[in-house]
Amino acid sequence: MRPRPVSTAITAALLLAVTLSATAGTAAADTAPLGAAPTGGTTVRAEYFPDPRGEGRRVEVPATSPYAASTPVAASSTARSAGAVPAEDGAVTVLSRTGPSADRMDVTIIGDGYTAAEQEDFLADARARWAEVSAVEPYRSYAGLFNVWAVGAVSAESGISGDPSADVVKNTALGSYFWCSSTERLICVDLDKVRTYAAKAPAADLVVVVSNSTKYGGAGYSELGSDYSFAGVSTLSSDNNRSSLIAAHEIGHSIGLLADEYTYDSYGTYTGTEPVEPNSTVRTATQLTASRAKWYRWLGESDPSGGTVGTYVGSSYYPKGVYRPTADSLMRSLSTDTFNLPGREAMISGFYRYASSLTKVTTAATVVRGQQVTASVATLATGLSRLDLRWYVDGTEARQARGLRTVVPRALGVPADGRAHTLVARVTDTTDSLRDPEAKAAATDSLTWSVVR
């Protein structure tokens, strides 16, 4: 089993890129991704998309919310008897459980602005919004690597602050509000409250806050640091389906370690070192090929986002001096719901950093005689993913067992000599979406037993 990564490691690449961006100038917030920091209190950086089909912006926002409830709201007996699900504050509902959390990426969806009587509505919204995120490739093909939990946060009032106008104030569990940092479409939350509710789920690698509103908006926090155990937080409107792409984009940062591919004229020409993100480079296509770097293996390929993979000028906020793989992609704007080929490869690699496609069912370290040995293989969509399961005895493949999830050692040819032999189950994702050898290696998982006959 691979260790679960900490959020500081996941966000290191993003911190470097944003630090470089911050030194480029002090342009006004309406022309550059970094807005003015709020006065007083702890702040973090967030990303939002003012246009539901446009490019993003980055801004400094408060880590807390003035609208978060000081104490949880107890569910009324009326709501309970009426069958609200879940009625109790902090109740956890399984939306999708594909395997043990140790072998899966866990997404925790928390509702805000839902009263005790509206928890059923929250669950319906959570399912709908996650269905939209997981319809995007490669989420769709790798849904079998995700567990999805819903945590019902009971609010005193229905709806969220700032909807429909800036003067509207609602008392809610997480303090969701539009007009964060004077920005209408930016939905901020109280991150400490988010952490408290996320802890109620069995595990949380990613957190999505579904805020009870029909108004378009949302945000992404992907630079949380070591104080938080999860890699990122996305906020989105519950009843506006364009908001779901915000979460799909933000997970691209948290899991794929991808850079933003949009630019701002005020940033001018990039003069820094080679960006650490896999979808941004200072090299031309010829230089990528010569140095065998970044996405050189994809150059010239037809891309699902349209056109071909190359080196297109402008990325990581800079319009000059740095390149992106394609003309458009989900990391550039919400005008498309498609990751480009290098981005898709980075996302799949990120999935396998957190999750394993192989789980040990027979947990004994040593098995004997005719005992069955079983390994569980994740059920992945027949889209991008292709899992190949093989068994090995002392390093030699037992070809007759290919694809079998339960085997008997003697049928594999384990010698009956009373000595210990090594039995290995190995599954490899043979998808065409992975070309980098390191990415392919990360997509291979194995389990080992000692067998004595």
Q: Which of 28, 24, 1, 213 is nearest to 104 (CA)?
A: 1
Kindly list the domain boundaries of the chain, sorted by start residue. 1-356, 357-452
Over residues 225-247, the pLDDT tens digits come to: 788 888 899 999 999 888 999 99
pLDDT at 229: 87
pLDDT at 87: 62
Torsion angles phi and psi, residue 130, rounded to 5: -70, -35
Over residues 308-338, the pLDDT tens digits come to: 999 999 999 999 999 999 999 999 999 999 9
Please state which CATH class domain 1-356 belongs to.
alpha beta
3-state secondary structure 367-409: EECCCCEEEEECCCCCCCCCEEEEEEECCEECHHHCCCCEECH
CA gap 400, 418 in Å, rounded: 23
Three-state DSSP state, 417: coil
pLDDT beyond 90 at 362 = yes
CA gap 353, 3 in Å, rounded: 9
Please state which CATH class domain 357-452 belongs to.
mainly beta
Over residues 235-283, the pLDDT tens digits come to: 999 998 889 999 999 999 999 999 999 999 999 999 999 999 999 999 9
Place of tokens 């979808």: 279
Torsion angle defined by CA atoms of residues 150, 151, 152 and 157, in that order, rounded to the nearest 10 degrees: -110
Q: Which range is least confidently modeled, 79-83, 303-307, 376-380, 390-394? A: 79-83
CA gap 19, 1 in Å, rounded: 34
Over residues 70-101, the pLDDT tens digits come to: 777 654 433 343 344 446 899 999 999 999 99
Given pLDDT bands bounded at 50, 70 and 90, which one contains residue 388? Answer: very high
Over residues 394-429, the pLDDT tens digits come to: 999 999 999 999 999 989 999 889 899 999 999 999
DSSP bridge partners of 313: 323
pLDDT at 77: 37
Q: Which of 444, 453, 448, 449 is nearest to 389 (CA)?
A: 444
Calculate the average pLDDT of the chain: 88
Q: Which of 111, 116, 122 is nearest to 83 (CA)?
A: 116
Torsion angle defined by CA atoms of residues 27, 33, 39 and 45, in that order, rounded to the nearest 10 degrees: -150
CA gap 370, 438 in Å, rounded: 37
CA gap 19, 37 in Å, rounded: 15
pLDDT at 40: 56
CA gap 262, 308 in Å, rounded: 18
